[in-house]
Amino acid sequence: MKKLIWPAFLLLLSFCQEKAAPPAPVLPVPEPRQIAWQELEYYGFVHFNMNTFSDREWGFGDEKPEMFNSTEMDPRQWARIASEAGMKGLIITAKHHDGFVLWPSAYTEHSVKNSLWKDGKGDLIRELADACKEYGLKFGIYYSPWDRNHPDYGKPEYITYMRNQLTELLTNYGEIYEVWFDGANGGDGYYGGANEQRMVDKLTYYEWPKVYELVRELQPGAMMFSDGGPDVRWVGNEHGFAYETTWSNLMRDSVYAGMPDYPDKYAPGQENGTHWVPAESDVSIRPGWYYHKYEDHKVKTLPQLLEIYYNSIGRNSSLLINFPVDTRGLIHENDEAAILRFGEKIKKDFELNLASFAEIEASGDRGYGYEAENVLDEDYQTYWTLKDGAPQSELVLDFGKEISFNRLLLQEYTPLGQRVKAFSLEREVAGNWELIAEATTIGYKRILRFEDVKAQKIRIKFLDGKDIPLISKVGIYDAPKLLIAPAFSRKTDGTVELISPDSGLEIYYSLDGSTPSQESLKYETSIPVTEALTLMAASFDPVSGEISEPIRIDLDLPKGNWKPFEADAYKAIDENGGSYWTSPTGTLSLDLGESIDLKGFTYLPMQARYPSGFITNYSFEISQDGKSWKEIATGEFSNIVNSPVEQQVRFESVSARFIRLRAVKTADGKPATFGEIGILTR
């Protein structure tokens, strides 16, 4: 392929020309610290705190400091893995909602200084800050404004305490690149023994303007995260996806941390937003944010991680992937293997920019310094743009011969504002232009995926915008194909169907938890499963000889003989996570058909687009006759609104024929909804 090369005399002439004036900015525009942060793109979260040892997602605040103890803790391992995976930084949960802090704070006894770890002489914030420096990573802190331990939470005195702790964190550990404020605050808690509910005015209680001023004073380069910034905003969900249309602009003055309607109204950003507050997509590599042993086999697969990447970084958002460090104080080997596979795949997907071999033409340009060639030079600071008010804007790339590709990457030069509202990609076929893909916003980075396309000449058209486009980069890539594991479904009689991701593939499976191979059972028809077991399945390509990463399916007893007390409640036990049942009484009672030895239960919340009635506090009861009931488990489904994944509750083995799940409280006060209920027998 031919790369565009300027003759020497033209290069000499270029030095004698005056650079054309840059276009006027389209407001709002980013601050320098926001530009530097955006270039990081991808970094890690570390959820490791008291919840790791209490096996909770949200601690109540009554945990004893002695519970925090790890003999193998190694923050250098965390930093090494993050660096090898291509991450640019790590953020640690310095204080979560339970109030326990990972440094020897002078302002609380609920701290590592009273733990068994290192006989109370350890400082985990210091160790991780040093490890990040060693591995060339940025270092950030998560600090929960909510404190379910502190006796003064809800009172003015707590605000002084909060600022004192932030001052410790921001002055004793070197440069901090991001300060992460959680939006969850106010509710039930220990509160020094009061054991009560304390609600606060989320808009005014924390005196956020003064907090922001403190952070600016102590760490001028730090980005502050919350629902509404002020520097970077929450993407509005915890599955790591930004939006088809994602603006870095936000109506910031209308937003505050924890506001109920933020995810629907503000999370995608607004075209006419008043401030530059780009999105950050946060997601855990497991279902939970903290470590739970029963999730060791639920680490996200490579296809799942790739979906997250392309729907976050590929949609004008940064990506924050969480590691739930285990009770040893290490990133689990399953998590390490997954994130390193992911890092390698991303490298391969973008290993060679085919656009660098093309000749490029533009519908026009602004003049010297802003020509179309700038989009091919891999320098973000150079860009192509047009004369003010130019009516047409398109780029045509000619590769000289037919090539195959399946990715388009575009970047705007965002220091002068986000502009593009719609664009398309076309290929030339027999003298005509044929549409390949189209999309809306670009922002710092936009990546489109599509099936393999062959073309010699392609055209990128900028169809709509707030002003003339400023395009810093065009990338064309041919990402290697990924063999994906089969999907599955189950009927109430226990029958399992395996669904191939592509025609021409074979499926192999096992029923004993072993990794499938060509020597395993070959899938031909539905599989009857009437007992609790682990099914593993993988796709096999007979042409290439490759086999996919396996999918693991933990199956329990079938529900075919179950009968709900409420005649219309079958949608809660139909093995269809997309259906749900709403209970007017807040309870779901089931006859299992026979007495069964139970070791726990599962609750999948409603999965609809506009959910309601999520159970946050529950009671689980059993009976042998359906009349006399005994409560055997009660508790909280923490963070279920933001992370509506299946909840598992385990208890000592108990025999029962009848079970009842009762909603003590729902998140929105509306009638309880049940997506799916299951039992655990092993």
Tokens at residue 680, please? Answer: 């655990």
pLDDT digits 0-9 by tens, 167-176: 999 999 999 9
Contact 128, 49 (CB under 8 A): no
The string of DSSP letters for 565-627 reads SSTTGGGGSSS-TT--EE-SSSEEEEEEEEEEEEEEEEEEPP-SSS----EEEEEEEEESSSS
**What predicted TM-score, i.e. pTM, was given to this entire model?**
0.93
pLDDT digits 0-9 by tens, 389-405: 887 899 999 999 999 99
pLDDT for position 73: 97
Answer yes or no: CATH 2.60.40.10 is held by domain 487-555: yes
Q: Residue 89, Cβ neighbours under 10 Å: how many?
A: 22
As a whole number of angstroms, the distance between CA 656 and CA 640 comes to 27
Per the listing, tokens 């520097």 go with 231
pLDDT digits 0-9 by tens, 527-550: 999 999 999 999 999 999 999 999
Inter-CA distances, 85 with 16, 295, 303, 365, 583, Å: 45, 21, 16, 39, 46
> CB-based burial of residue 482 (10 Å sphere; 0-12 exposed, 13-18 middle, 19+ buried)?
middle
As a whole number of angstroms, the distance between CA 297 and CA 569 comes to 31
Residue 2: pLDDT band (50, 70, 90) is very low
Residue 487: pLDDT band (50, 70, 90) is very high
Q: What percent of the chain has pLDDT over 90?
A: 92
Q: What is the mean pLDDT of residues 34-54?
A: 97
Residues of the chain with CATH 3.20.20.80: 32-345
* Superfamily, domain 32-345: Glycosidases (3.20.20.80)
Q: What is the mean pLDDT of residues 406-421?
A: 98
Residues of the chain with CATH 2.60.120.260: 352-477, 563-680
As a whole number of angstroms, the distance between CA 1 and CA 356 comes to 9
Q: Which CATH number fits domain 563-680: 3.30.160.270, 3.40.50.720, 2.60.120.260, 3.40.50.1980?
A: 2.60.120.260
Closest CA to 332 of 281, 283, 298, 282: 298
Contact 677, 590 (CB under 8 A): yes
Residues of the chain with CATH 2.60.40.10: 487-555
* Superfamily, domain 352-477: Galactose-binding domain-like (2.60.120.260)
pLDDT digits 0-9 by tens, 614-623: 999 999 999 9
Contact 27, 217 (CB under 8 A): no
Contact 296, 37 (CB under 8 A): no
Closest CA to 623 of 565, 547, 561: 565
Give yes or no for residue 143 having a pLDDT over 60: yes
